[in-house]
A and B are shown apart, each in its own frame.
Chain A
Amino acid sequence: MTDAIDVRHVAKTFAVGKGRVVAVDDVSFSIPAGGVLGVVGESGCGKSTLARVILGLLAPDSGEVEIEGQKIAGLDRRARARLIQPVFQDPFSSLNPLTRIRDIVALPLVAQGSLGRAKIARTVDEMLSRVGLSAEMGRRLPAELSGGQRQRVAIARALVLRPRIVVCDEPTSALDVSVQAQILNLLAELRRDLGLTYLFISHNLAVVEHVASEVAVMYLGRLVERAPTERLFAQPEHPYTKALLASVLTPEPGLGVPDVGLGDTMPDPANIPSGCRFHPRCPIAEPRCATETPPFKPRPAGGVECLLVP
């Protein structure tokens, strides 16, 4: 069976001043149809750049992305829009403030250029009710909606063309917890009902554990560990994954704040360390970690990139 998304050796750097910033460095993975791959990592690890490359919004320097067996580089915008759609973090800046909700949700249909007005209106109505918005909401402007309602609009717009894949880039990070739960539940329900595949980017590990079937951990442009969700959370192997998990503050009183043991060196994508790029912060680094490039060690349904794991 063809995978929903197949990413092969994708690399992307940006020129900044005199230097280059490495955003994504030779990343490969695939997501089976109907799966949810959670991508986690700190700011600057390249997770949003990866999302943009997969969406076809940025051309990679090298490597390629296939969506349901078709190379995205060869697809025109309309065909791409029917396959893959984004939901972004901030529903305050991702919706045109001067456009009514109905027209925002209708735009992808209108842009296809082949649908009649009545058909578009019907599809929009269906989609709005599907994400839990009334037809009356459709006549409003984004400013008249709450954050959660706006994110519902962004989801309706993403799904109105019935794409196969949705890239969610921090879809609930700008929302309050009570609203975050509503949106996560909606996304889960839609995935089941419509048979969608998600690439789900988040810095919130608890959210990723809740929604993802598999998790990829990124560090300074590299995918350093990949595993089915349960295994990643129960038996993390990479020291960076361990540190990330240790820093999650669960709502359990009395445990105090853990010592993550990462020191105060911050990762800098403009200045990638030699050898293993995590070694300056790694609590168990050995001298060879500064010089040798860690190999990718495969595991069932995943793998880990570290010199020190067996």
Chain B
Amino acid sequence: MTALLEVDRLQVQFGATAAVRGASLSVARGETHCLVGESGCGKSVTALAVMNLLARGGERKAERLAFEGEDLLKLSERGMARLRGNAMAMIFQEPMTSLNPAYTVGSQMTEVLRRHKGASQRAATDRAADLLARVGITAPGLRLGQFPHQLSGGLRQRVMIAMALMCEPKLLIADEPTTALDVTVQAQILRLLAGLQRDLGLGLLLITHDLGIVARVATRVSVMYAGEVVESAPTAELFAQPRHPYTQGLLRCVPVPGKIQRDQPLGAIRGTVPRVGHGFAGCAFRERCDFADETCQRTIPRHSAGATHDYLCRLPA
């Protein structure tokens, strides 16, 4: 069976900066794949490259970039525009900047369906109201007539989700959808996303820096560092047996409620992420790694730690 989304050795450059350096991942139907990493690791750029929404100056290259078997690299902008917001939809972190402040919620939501499916205004409004109710918004009729600034952050994020679902997408890419929200609202939104994903059989690519979110919603996790996927595994396996020293370090950094020893320092990763440009060779984590030796400056092999678990490090499994 072909995956819904296949990304093979994606590279994205902005001038001399290599933002993504050979990242591969795939998303199957009904799967939640979490892409996790710290700021600047290339996780958002990966998503934007898939949607062909890179900022000016961004160049993408890949061995393969396919949605339902269709080659996205060969698709014209017009063809891409037919897919975007239709079969593949995206939700961004800050709903205030991605909703148009000058249009009502209703007109933004219905536009998607009218444009992609040629639906009547009436039918589109009905569907918008249905979806708003579905994402847990009470009085959807009232909300349709309101402007984004009249809604709270949690409501705006729900509107974004409902809008992304208007055309029944098969793939939903959500880039830090709950980072700007309070923990209580975050839990509500994630619960909602997980439920929708299950009911609609969506493939969900969820980008986050929060390992708590990853643990609770992902079926599969890919950890990115300095533009590369350094480890990829089923969720339970990644948390139980992380192989890459960076993944191990990340897991030690997170205080776990109930297991906190207050007088003990948290595990931290020393140093900072290096700037990686053209011609960089070897492991980008080596300066911060306790296991690094001189061989880490050469090309690093990808090791397998099971049929569905691989990592990029010289250390054997």
Contacts and interface: CB of A to CB of B under 8 A. Distances in A.
9 contacts: A42-B182, A182-B270, A185-B265, A185-B268, A207-B255, A249-B215, A253-B236, A256-B194, A256-B217
Contacts of A147: 39
A1 B160 CA distance: 54
A266 interface: yes
**Most A CB atoms within 10 A — which of B153, B209, B235, B268?**
B268
B210 interface: yes
B68 interface: no
Contact of A177 (B153, B211, B262): B211
Interface stretch (A115-123, A240-248, A301-309): A240-248
Contact of A180 (B136, B153, B183, B253): B253
Contacts of A260: 184, 187-188
Contacts of A189: 265
Contact of A209 (B138, B251, B257, B265): B257
A188 B182 contact: no
B209 A177 contact: yes
B267 interface: yes
A257 B255 CA distance: 18
Interface string A160-191: 00000000000000001111111011001100
B272 A146 contact: yes
Interface residues of A, number: 49
Given A42-B182, A146-B272, A233-B258, A251 B236 contact: no
A111 to B, nearest CB: 31
B123 interface: no
A93 interface: no
A85 interface: no
Contacts of A233: 257-258
B301 to A, nearest CB: 25
Interface in A8-58: 42-43
B244 to A, nearest CB: 13
Contacts of B282: none
A266 B152 CA distance: 8
A292 to B, nearest CB: 24
A178 B183 contact: no
Interface in B39-98: 39
A193 to B, nearest CB: 13
Given A206-B255, A206-B260, A257-B194, A249 B184 contact: no
Interface in A180-225: 180-182, 184-185, 188-189, 203-207, 209-211, 213
B184 A244 contact: yes
A258 B137 CA distance: 19
B147 interface: no
A89 B236 CA distance: 33
A184 B236 contact: no
B287 to A, nearest CB: 13
Contact of A178 (B191, B212, B240, B268): B268
A108 interface: no
B184 A181 contact: no
A207 B210 CA distance: 13
Interface in B138-181: 138, 152-155
B44 to A, nearest CB: 14
Given A42-B182, A179-B272, A257-B194, A251 B256 contact: yes
